[in-house]
């Protein structure tokens, strides 16, 4: 639901799923008309200046104090440490849910046909904005107010995008991987990894590609409330990313697995168990610290009870806010947008405002 502008051509107009998310383009530069006053400095004056991390967690400087060195922790720093701890606790309690993932395709009808006929998704809604030359379609396995869904964006006249090397794949849980692969083959789909157990495990998986080259991992799993179950992104420092998503996003590290034979480590992050919720799969390839993000994948949207406190947490724990929190011009929906330490974009949307927009 976010306004996004491809980087491939300056003539391509930005796209949006609804007025709810008219914000920053993929160069992370917001239009001046969308910039609103940031009230966070009024609401959280204690975060107006940077505070060393040692003041937040463990107060590492304390050992020097006990050794009699001429250093002291001021009452102001102690107050800042207290408020930072309070913010961290709020993040953990915030009612957050991954809402949708946004990316661009070259032929909307072709992609809709593939997702509905081969992957069993439903077309939830579609809207065309001819004055801005784009069309959006929402697809998934259930309504947007309770399921993680896909938002496809088609910009008039653009038939291809660069997926880059940073984006990995989407994951879909199916009850019979082999049967799903047969159907995909019958529809002309591309299978890049035949069904079989995952290396070092017993879960049956397969990999396919959609018409635009986006990879989907099919995972054999029993009935689940969230079949669209994974978004995999590559990162340059896994421990840094885990720390950021735990503290700034309030996600839980569900599991971490190292595979030295193939020189990669993965971490599953999310807001609930993998078999019942969508998760963010972060992948670190040994020795690789940067990736080309291309201009095809856009961002994930996450619901929150308070976009202002969310923005402060993002700033405090190592992220970059690219759209200051506040209501969008012309409507009351409150949002904020940010980048994680690797430059992956996320948009946070006020939970109540999101439901109102769906109505």
Geometric angle at alpha carbon 153, from 103 and 181, rounded to 5° = 60
**Is 55 marked as binding a ligand?**
no
Q: How far apart are CA 35 and CA 37, in angstroms?
A: 7
- Give exposure, 270-292, as e/b (b: 16+ Cβ within 10 Å): bbeebeebbbbbbbbbeeeeebe
DSSP bridge pairs for 314 = none
Q: How far, in whole angstroms, is CA 163 from its chain's centroid?
A: 16
**Is 357 marked as binding a ligand?**
no
Q: How far apart are CA 94 and CA 85, in angstroms?
A: 14
- 8 Å CB contact between 234 and 290: no
Closest CA to 296 of 8, 10, 100, 3: 8
- 8 Å CB contact between 141 and 121: yes
Q: How far is CA 211 from CA 140, 148, 163, in A?
A: 17, 21, 12
Q: How far apart are CA 184 and CA 196, in angstroms?
A: 16
Q: How far apart are the first and last CA of the chain?
A: 15
Largest CA distance in the chain: 76
- 8 Å CB contact between 177 and 194: no
131 is catalytic: no
Closest CA to 135 of 144, 143, 126, 147: 126
Burial class (CB in 10 A: 0-12, 13-18, 19+), 331: middle
Q: How far apart are CA 265 and CA 255, in angstroms?
A: 11
The single residue of 131, 175, 182, 217 carrying the catalytic annotation is 217
Catalytic residues: 217
Binding residues for Zn(2+): 151, 169, 217
């Amino acid at each position: 639901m976010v306004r996004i502008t491809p980087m491939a051509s300056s003539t391509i107009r930005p796209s949006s799923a609804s007025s709810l998310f008219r914000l920053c383009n993929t160069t992370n530069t917001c239009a001046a008309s969308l910039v609103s006053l940031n009230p966070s400095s009024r609401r959280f004056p204690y975060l107006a200046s940077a505070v060393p991390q040692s003041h937040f967690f463990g107060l590492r400087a304390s050992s020097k104090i006990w050794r009699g060195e001429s250093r002291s922790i001021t009452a102001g720093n102690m107050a800042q440490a207290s408020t930072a701890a309070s913010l961290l606790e709020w993040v953990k309690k915030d009612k957050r849910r991954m809402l949708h993932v946004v990316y661009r395709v070259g032929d909307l009808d072709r992609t809709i046909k593939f997702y509905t006929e081969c992957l069993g998704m439903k077309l939830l809604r579609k809207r065309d904005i001819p004055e801005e030359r784009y069309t959006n379609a929402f697809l998934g396995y259930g309504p947007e107010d309770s399921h993680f869904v896909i938002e496809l964006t088609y910009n008039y006249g653009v038939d291809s995008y660069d997926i880059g090397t940073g984006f990995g794949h989407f994951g879909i849980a199916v009850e019979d991987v082999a049967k799903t692969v047969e159907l995909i083959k019958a529809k002309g789909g591309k299978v890049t990894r035949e069904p079989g157990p995952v290396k070092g495990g017993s879960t049956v998986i397969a990999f396919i590609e959609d018409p635009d080259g986006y990879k989907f991992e099919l995972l054999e799993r029993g009935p689940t409330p969230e079949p669209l179950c994974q978004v995999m992104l590559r990162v340059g420092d896994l421990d840094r990313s885990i720390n950021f998503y735990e503290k700034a996003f309030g996600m839980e590290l569900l599991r971490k697995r190292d595979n030295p034979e193939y020189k990669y480590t993965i971490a599953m992050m999310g807001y609930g168990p993998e078999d019942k919720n969508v998760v963010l799969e972060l992948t670190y390839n040994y020795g690789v610290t940067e990736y080309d993000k291309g201009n095809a994948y856009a961002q994930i949207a996450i619901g929150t009870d308070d976009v202002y406190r969310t923005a402060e947490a993002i700033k405090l724990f190592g992220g970059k806010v690219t759209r200051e929190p506040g209501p969008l011009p012309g409507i009351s929906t409150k949002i904020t947008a940010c980048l994680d330490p690797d430059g992956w974009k996320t948009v946070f949307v006020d939970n109540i405002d999101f439901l109102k927009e769906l109505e």
